[in-house]
Amino acid sequence: MLNLTIFLDGILAAGDYIGFTFFTGYMSMLAASIFFLVERGTVSDKWKTSLLVSALITFIAAVHYFYMRGIWLEFKTSPTQFRYIDWTLTVPLMCIEYYLILRPAGASSGMLWRLLFGSIVMLVAGYLGEAVFIEQNILWGVISTAGWALIIYEIYMGEASKVANASNLAYVKTGYNVLRWFTLVGWAIYPIGYMMLPGNLLHGLVAGVDLTKSSPVDLAYNIADAINKIGFGLVVYTIAKNATAAEKVGYEKATA
């Protein structure tokens, strides 16, 4: 069987690994959205919003991956605009997750705004370098990296880190440490894809690739999205479940 029909609106050819990652990303993030929404009913009220945001992140990504997959299957071109629309919505939501987790421990709205500002700088500069000022993509990549560095500073050395360290809840500390590892290591996959753009530092690695058959940039982005968005949500889910269990134990002791 040389071709696979995908929902009757596109053909996934055998050996089309980029199309495969688009389809896998779409289905896995849709499944994650359903999971987070269903599990939302199993956590205490104070954590329901966090799981709702996790579901929104993966659902928004799933919708965009549905359309990005269609663009790739039909035109074999990178769906840059759709991808940045997705990131413009989902990355700020991931920053909001940090705030929701740390708010009970005393996080301020200023922390949230700093994270949001860093994400906006990162995304706007990245888009300008990838889709508008392509010949200056290294410069815009540096500016985008500065936005990411601002986020890293906040979660490792800024208010977010201090609030997390001051928390007396072990599950919040553990979950927070895992989340910031996603932001440090997982988000670092995106610059690797970006640096494969024409004229950028790693383009020589893919200079001979037929972009009508394979797109290393999209491959890097698709893998990063699946790891970061689903993984991020699963960490939030784990924190919420542990918090709910701890609250239940505390209630049972208080009423014993």
User: Across the strands, what pairs with 11?
Assistant: 5
- List phi, psi (to 5°) of 201: -65, -35
Residue spans of the chain under pLDDT 50: 1-8, 211, 251-252, 254, 256
pLDDT for 7 equals 47
Give residue limits of the domains in the chain: 3-255
pLDDT for 155 equals 95
Tell the CATH topology of 3-255.
Rhopdopsin 7-helix transmembrane proteins (1.20.1070)
pLDDT for 1 equals 42
pLDDT for 71 equals 87
Query: Which DSSP string corresponds to 165-203?
Result: HH---HHHHHHHHHHHHIIIIITTHHHHHHTTSTTSTTG
pLDDT for 30 equals 96
- Using CA atoms, how far apart are residues 196 and 6, in angstroms rounded to an integer? 29
pLDDT in tens, 35-63: 999 999 999 898 999 999 999 999 999 99
pLDDT for 255 equals 52
- Using CA atoms, how far apart are residues 65 and 92, in angstroms rounded to an integer? 18
pLDDT for 214 equals 56
Pairing label, strands 11-13, 3-5:
antiparallel
pLDDT for 37 equals 96
pLDDT for 10 equals 57
